[in-house]
Structure 1
Amino acid sequence: MSKKRREIPIFDFPIIETHCHLDYLKDKELQETLDVSFKHGIEKIITISVSPNNLDTVIDLSTKHENIYCTQGIHPHEARLWNQQVRQQILENLSFEKVVAVGEIGLDYYYNKSPREIQIEAFKEQLEIAIEKDLPVVIHTRDADEDTIEILSDMAPRLKKKGVIHSFTSSIELARVALDLGFHLGFNGIITFKTAQNVRDVLEICPIERVLLETDAPFLTPVPYRGKENAPYYLPFIAEFVAQTKDIELETVLKSCYQSSKSLFSI
């Protein structure tokens, strides 16, 4: 895991960015970021909503740019803002054709920025929306394995399209439960961090057909660009590291993740 900077590779096969926050990027103008990303083979980008304040923002981005898609959901950090007005706004926004999932939803007991019981309520209600609307979900879970397992074991069987546990950093137990239920696991720059052997252990047991590539930009920039703002154009490094960790051909990673992303999100 050398920290030596090198040029971002360009592959012969396209990549879909399944999780980033375009409205949070600051280092470059958005169009420049998109231009660089498309130059490096990022074919489509899914930008994720997290709070009532950016539900409409991500839709606006997707309508202005052909290759950008979006989600609708309230992050567990913002669960204290969940109410019936927000629920109705999400339901109405799901009618936009470029909304591809309900998310980012879930539980975060590491920061506890919202009370746990409210996080659970918002998580369950948004899972019900996904069930009702036949959409996949994008799930955030941190230090909440037990409750996440309990909730998904109860509700996921009614989710036709399942979804992804994004930025997976949880236990192998949760990984196995999620995989058994039909979920994908999202991996990003964390897999390149020296301290993240636990994440690489999960990646090793995850079938390549269930792996999705993401950046979570502007966060979690991969080696060799740690310290810089993350962006979708760093995805090639993550694809390379997945191939290295799983000891499979890079082309296999690229083709599998591309097809899985297209199929899960219907893009």
Structure 2
Amino acid sequence: MRPFIIDSHCHLDFPVLSGEIDAVLARAREAGVGLMVTISTRVRAFDTVLAIAEAHDNVYCTVGTHPHNAAEEQDVTVDELVRLARHPKVVGIGEAGLDYHYDNSPRELQAASFRTHIAAARETGLPLVIHSREAEDDTASILEEEYARGAFTPLLHCFSSGIELARRGLALGGYVSFSGIITFRNAEEIRAAAREVPLDRLLVETDAPYLAPVPMRGQSNEPAYVAHTLEKLAEIRALTIEDMAARTTENFHRLFSRVPAGAAASNGVS
């Protein structure tokens, strides 16, 4: 029996995946990937994300504005996010955060949007999916400032930062998700972080269609390939693939508590 794996972060609405979604989901199931969360990057396009989740029993979604799109979605409010998050298929807020690599939106607008999403996560009790790139200190500082105003649960997705951001996020009760980056030859710093994160705070993801892991590098990423990332994470932590799959699945359900416990048993993966 194949281990049951969850892709905690993918973008099934992006054209390269949405254009053949039935085949993508079939390949995921064949690889043992039984659940997926397709992540919102624009609230104004949330209907597309939600439609995918509604059409497939083993797909859930989030609602939020990526920092790249913060400037075009300045009108998104806490109340709107909370309202949209009432749908039972919505299991998280985001992805939101800071991206100083591209600076596609002014940094002050990224920060304002980030705080709006934090407030929505606090109000709904749903986990906050965080994008942070080359903005480690500002990300951690905003998280700490906002946490002092009221608790919420952060998830540092596609972790590609120094260990200090992970430590500061973990201190707030957060989780850390690792992508195919941990399979890349020059990613020893990220593998070092993966060794340090407690076993009960680890998740795996693809961030598909980006960052395909070795041995699929150069291809468009898809949920099936999270199996390669899980295998590498198991190697890094000196665990069996089965044990790592069980731990990350347990962590996923603890964090994304709105996903029904029976979802894992009804997805057809064996």
Q: Same fold (TM over 0.5)?
A: yes
Counterpart for residue 20 of structure 1:
10
| Alignment equivalent of 2:37, drawn from 43, 46, 50 | 46
Counterpart for residue 169 of structure 2:
178
CA distance in 2, matches of 1:203, 1:31: 32
**After superposition, what is the alpha-carbon deviation per residue over 1:124-175, rounded to whole angstroms, capped at 9, x for unaligned?**
1110111111111000001111111111111235565503100101111111
Change (3 A) 1:242 1:25: farther
Counterpart for residue 108 of structure 2:
117
**Aligned-pair CA distance for 1:25:** 4.6
**Aligned-pair CA distance for 1:219:** 0.1
Say whether residues 1:202 and 2:193 are aligned partners: yes
**After superposition, what is the alpha-carbon deviation per residue over 1:166-186, rounded to whole angstroms, capped at 9, x for unaligned?**
010111111111111111111
CA distance in 1, matches of 2:76, 2:194: 39
Change (3 A) 1:128 1:79: same
**Aligned-pair CA distance for 1:22:** 0.3
Counterpart for residue 5 of structure 1:
none
Length-normalised TM-score, structure 2: 0.90
* Residue correspondence of structure 1 range 30-179 to structure 2 within 5 A: 30-85=21-76, 88-157=79-148, 160-179=151-170
Counterpart for residue 4 of structure 1:
none
**After superposition, what is the alpha-carbon deviation per residue over 1:218-267, rounded to whole angstroms, capped at 9, x for unaligned?**
00000001011100001111111001112222222111100000111121
Counterpart for residue 211 of structure 2:
220
Change (3 A) 1:66 1:23: same
Q: Indicate if the aligned counterparts of 1:52 and 1:81 stay in contact, CA closer than 8 A.
A: no
The secondary structure found in structure 2 opposite 1:100 is: strand
Please tell me the residue identity of whatever aligns with 1:117: E
**After superposition, what is the alpha-carbon deviation per residue over 1:177-218, rounded to whole angstroms, capped at 9, x for unaligned?**
111111111101100111111111110111121110100000
CA distance in 2, matches of 1:117, 1:23: 28
Q: What 5-or-longer segments of structure 1 have no aligned partner?
A: 1-10
The secondary structure found in structure 1 opposite 2:13 is: helix
Length-normalised TM-score, structure 1: 0.91
Q: Compare 22-31 and 67-76 and name the one that shifted more.
A: 22-31
* Residue correspondence of structure 1 range 231-242 to structure 2 within 5 A: 231-242=222-233
Please tell me the residue identity of whatever aligns with 2:36: I
CA distance in 1, matches of 2:253, 2:235: 23
RMSD of aligned C-alpha atoms?
1.6
The secondary structure found in structure 2 opposite 1:155 is: helix
CA distance in 1, matches of 2:173, 2:144: 11
Q: Give the share of equivalent positions with the same residue, in percent.
A: 38
CA distance in 1, matches of 2:2, 2:129: 28
Q: How many residues align?
A: 257
Q: Indicate if the aligned counterparts of 1:218 and 1:229 stay in contact, CA closer than 8 A.
A: yes
The secondary structure found in structure 2 opposite 1:26 is: helix
Please tell me the residue identity of whatever aligns with 1:125: T
CA distance in 2, matches of 1:195, 1:140: 21
**After superposition, what is the alpha-carbon deviation per residue over 1:54-102, rounded to whole angstroms, capped at 9, x for unaligned?**
2111111111111110000101001102233565543331111010000
